[in-house]
Structure 1
Amino acid sequence: MKIQQIYTGCLAQGAYYIESKGEVAIIDPLREVEPYLLRAEKEGAKIKYVLETHFHADFVSGHLDLAAKTGATIVYGPTAKPGFEAHVAEDGEIFKLGDITIKTIHTPGHTMESTCFLLRDEKGKDIALFTGDTLFIGDVGRPDLAQKVVADLTQDKLAAHLYDSLHNKIIPLADDIIVYPAHGAGSACGKNMSKETTDSLGHQKATNYALQPMSKELFIKKVTDGLMPPPGYFPANVMMNIQGYESIDTVLNRGMQGLSPEAFEAAANETTALILDTRDAQVFAKGFVPNSINIGIDGNFAPWAGALIPDIKQEILLITDQGREEEVVTRLARVGYDHTIGHLQGGFEAWKNAGKETDTIESIRVDQLVEKLKENPGLNILDVRKESEFLSEHVLTAENMPLDYINDHLAELDKNKTYYVHCAGGYRSMIFNSILKARGYDNLIDVQGGFKSIKESGQLEVSEYVCPSTLL
């Protein structure tokens, strides 16, 4: 028996490869299925099942392509109503895989069809529990997502179901079972996940706040307290996972179309396509195609693309580092952005060499900002980190304008004023600056290195959060 966790850091997502006697089950695969096919081929094994723990909100699963390429059976838990051929399992149903078995455990709460899969070895001993978004390491799945898709559900109703699932189905299982969740720290599917991606169930019973003895009412309060609004693309991803989608091969063929500078310019002028530049923030600042938006590929690329591109069917023209075009198209497709219509052949250098118009964003070091503040203490400093980060500590004179809610704050900015913009390290501030630059805000100056560099310099006064209890 082999169990492999295939973890994708940018989505904080864990898919699983399980093999016994030449038969394979894949749990919660990502959109691109080639890695699973290659692994099975290498082992001389055949993929028999694609097990889906629920209809995912934060990524588009690869279940359809994987089943089409292998003949595997797609399996969902009870109450699931997929818009394609799949086996909807009964609670407690057993699936044979080589010498081992996998038991279906219906655990509604995160969503109503949420299901865990309990793996038993050749001797019938419970070995591992694949918990999807029902149970994470240090947390449980947020109960407010399915209500965005099913009108008569509320987060309190879902939280009540989750309480019952955990107490009646999960907690009674043996302590030595290994928990394999669908996500780790960084995912928006929970609020308190550990950086660890596996643990024993016994340790989770001892340390996970949501598994401690408490009333259902208190549980509902705890798991719903402090939930931030989910990214806007989540409902669209759920519907794609329920209803189906284009093959990843089709998406890649379309997105991998190389366009000359002339053809790229024509496509930008003749369509409503968004120009997305995925190069490093500071490289972008030195020169870019006018009106392009920067979301760097070497960061939380897919979640930020999903949060900031409101229409999942938006056509996209790409500018990437040469050789990374397929990677970018793939990572966009992971979160449902399937309408990349081409990329700039030869990258930005080809555009520049063709004599096309370019633009820049001024970017300064912290010491340069300090000198400017000495000349004018009233400079407008924008901190685009999350509110919680800002409240923890920030430059004393800074104003918080989180990137997450950029559209809610545009009316507060004066196009005639100059703003010095920073985030934590420089990634988000360039996204913010590029979006505003494309909308006609020309007086934006990026602060290199963000708050990390500001604090390390020790040259600017920083306000730190003081807990109210310490004031008593």
Structure 2
Amino acid sequence: MYIQQLYTGCLSEAAYYIESDGQAAIIDPMRDTHAYTQLASDRKAEIKYIFETHFHADFISGHLDLQKATGAPIIYGPETKADFAVEVASDHQLFPLGKCMIEVLHTPGHTLESACYLLRDEHDKPYALFTGDTLFVGDVGRPDLAQKGAELTKEDLAGMLYDSLQSKIVTLPDDVLVYPAHGAGSSCGKNLGPTTYSTIGEQIQTNYALRAENKTAFIKAVTTDLPEPPSYFPINAAINKKGYIGLDDVLEKALQPLSPTTFRDTIQTEDVWVIDTRDNQVFTQGFVPGSVFIGLNGRFAEWAGSLIPFDKKLLLITDPGMENEAMTRLARVGFDKMIGYLEGGFEAWQNAGLPVDMIIDVESDELAMDLPFDEHLLVLDVRKESEFDQGHVAEAINIPLPELLNPIRVAAIEDTDNIYMHCQSGYRSVIGASILKKQGFHNLRNIVGGWKAIEQEPKIPVAVTVTEEALKQQEAAAKEDDTTNTEQALQNK
């Protein structure tokens, strides 16, 4: 028996290769399937099954391309309804794999069709559980990503999830390995731990959701403080359910080298978005006017899916040799309208004498010097609201990065404002600056190092947001103090 986790860091996604006696199964494959077929070939094994734990919302699965390459059936859990041929397994159905067995455990809650796959070893002993988005290390799957527009609420789905965990998961032996579909950084949960595997026993002891006293407490715990999911999640879930164009076909159209003049003419004559994937510190020094920065060195695919329209044609600017990598990552989250890239990269554009734009980078000490004297200075913080609440520049405005595309939010910025932008460390603010530049805002500066640098500058006034929840906690603490003081006074009499 052999298990290999294939982890994709920029999406925090884990696929799995399981093999026994020359037969292999793939669980939750990514859209670029070469790694799985190559691994099977290297190990002289045949891919017999393709198992999907649910319709993924955060990436495009490789089930269709992998089936085309191997002929293996695509297997989903009970209650699955897809627009292509799948094998819908029944609860507790067994699938032989060499000398082992894979048992389907229907675990609705994250979605209705969610299933976990229990690997039983040669002695029929439960060995490992592939949990998809039902159970993570330190967390459980969100109950608010499915059933949009349906009668089921997130509380209804959380209740189902509780029943699934209690009846199918925590009853397994403590030493059963837990292999989830995601690790830290994924938006599919709110509290994912730093490791990508665990055991049932460890999760029972440490996972906040599994430690809930009862169903009511569980529902409250998993539905409270859920962050807003990326906007592309419903799009990806629909694509995974309906089917998609093969990755090879997408890349064949996408990997078209365009000379600087052809690249320029395409921008001028077609409705396209230009994505620049270089390092943020390089991008600010010079870029093609109107292009949007999303660097490959960050959570590239997730930010692209959250910010870039899926119905627009895309042109890419990359470091030479990174074109295929960038296009593949975009395809992983459902982009299939890529039509070419700048041959020779940005240097070729410069050498052709074509127009160049730039973003002014400033250090935090320059912000400190300018704040007292510039009455039009506006500090724009593009971090999440929760990050902003924990500490920010006094009188700064907070427009989280995805909302910079919302005209209503951007209306808060005046034409006369001198905009100083920042995020936590510098990646998101450059994305934000490029988006504002594309919308016609040019009087802006990017604060190098972001909030991490700002909070180290003693001359910059900072503040925290006192939220309604914080006020409630303060009131509760005050009442507790009053009660303690009263009790102490009575004891002293």
CA deviations over 1:355-380 (Å, ceiling 9, x no partner): 11111111111222222235437731
Give the 5 Å matches for 1:64-463.
Answer: 64-148=64-148, 151-309=150-308, 311-376=309-374, 379-406=377-404, 407=406, 408-463=408-463
Which position in structure 2 is the counterpart of 1:61?
Answer: 61
Q: Distance in 2 between matches of 1:129 and 1:402?
A: 37
Provide TM-score, normalisation by structure 1.
Answer: 0.96
3-state SS in 1 of match to 2:135: coil
Q: Offset of 1:134 from its aligned partner?
A: 0.5
Answering whether residue 15 of structure 2 is matched by residue 7 of structure 1, we say no
How many pairs were matched up?
470
Q: Distance in 2 between matches of 1:31 and 1:16?
A: 14
Larger deviation, residues 127-136 vs 208-217: 208-217
Paired residues of 1:386 and 1:404 also in contact (CA < 8 A): no
Provide TM-score, normalisation by structure 2.
Answer: 0.92
CA deviations over 1:189-233 (Å, ceiling 9, x no partner): 111111111111011111112112533232222211111222111
Larger deviation, residues 55-64 vs 385-394: 385-394
Paired residues of 2:159 and 2:215 also in contact (CA < 8 A): yes
Larger deviation, residues 55-64 vs 214-223: 214-223
Specify every segment of 5 or more residues in structure 1 that has no aligned partner in the other structure, as ranges: none
Paired residues of 2:368 and 2:457 also in contact (CA < 8 A): no
Q: Distance in 1 between matches of 2:376 and 2:433?
A: 20
Larger deviation, residues 211-220 vs 178-187: 211-220
3-state SS in 2 of match to 1:456: coil
Which position in structure 2 is the counterpart of 1:50?
Answer: 50
Give, as a single letter, the amino acid of the residue that structure 1 aligns with 2:94.
I
Percent of paired sites with the same residue? 53
CA deviations over 1:119-138 (Å, ceiling 9, x no partner): 01111110100000001111
- Which structure has the larger Rg? 2
Give, as a single letter, the amino acid of the residue that structure 2 aligns with 1:63.
H
Give, as a single letter, the amino acid of the residue that structure 1 aligns with 2:21.
K
Paired residues of 1:415 and 1:442 also in contact (CA < 8 A): no
Give, as a single letter, the amino acid of the residue that structure 1 aligns with 2:402.
D
3-state SS in 2 of match to 1:412: coil
3-state SS in 1 of match to 2:15: strand
3-state SS in 1 of match to 2:274: strand
Q: Distance in 1 between matches of 2:310 and 2:88?
A: 28
Paired residues of 1:53 and 1:132 also in contact (CA < 8 A): yes
Q: Distance in 2 between matches of 1:369 and 1:209?
A: 41
Paired residues of 2:173 and 2:200 also in contact (CA < 8 A): yes
3-state SS in 1 of match to 2:139: coil
Which position in structure 1 is the counterpart of 2:488?
Answer: none
CA deviations over 1:225-264 (Å, ceiling 9, x no partner): 1112221111111111111101110111111111011111
Give, as a single letter, the amino acid of the residue that structure 1 aligns with 2:28.
D
Q: Distance in 2 between matches of 1:371 and 1:421?
A: 16
Specify every segment of 5 or more residues in structure 2 that has no aligned partner in the other structure, as ranges: 479-493
Give, as a single letter, the amino acid of the residue that structure 2 aligns with 1:242.
K
Q: Distance in 2 between matches of 1:213 and 1:392?
A: 27
3-state SS in 1 of match to 2:371: helix
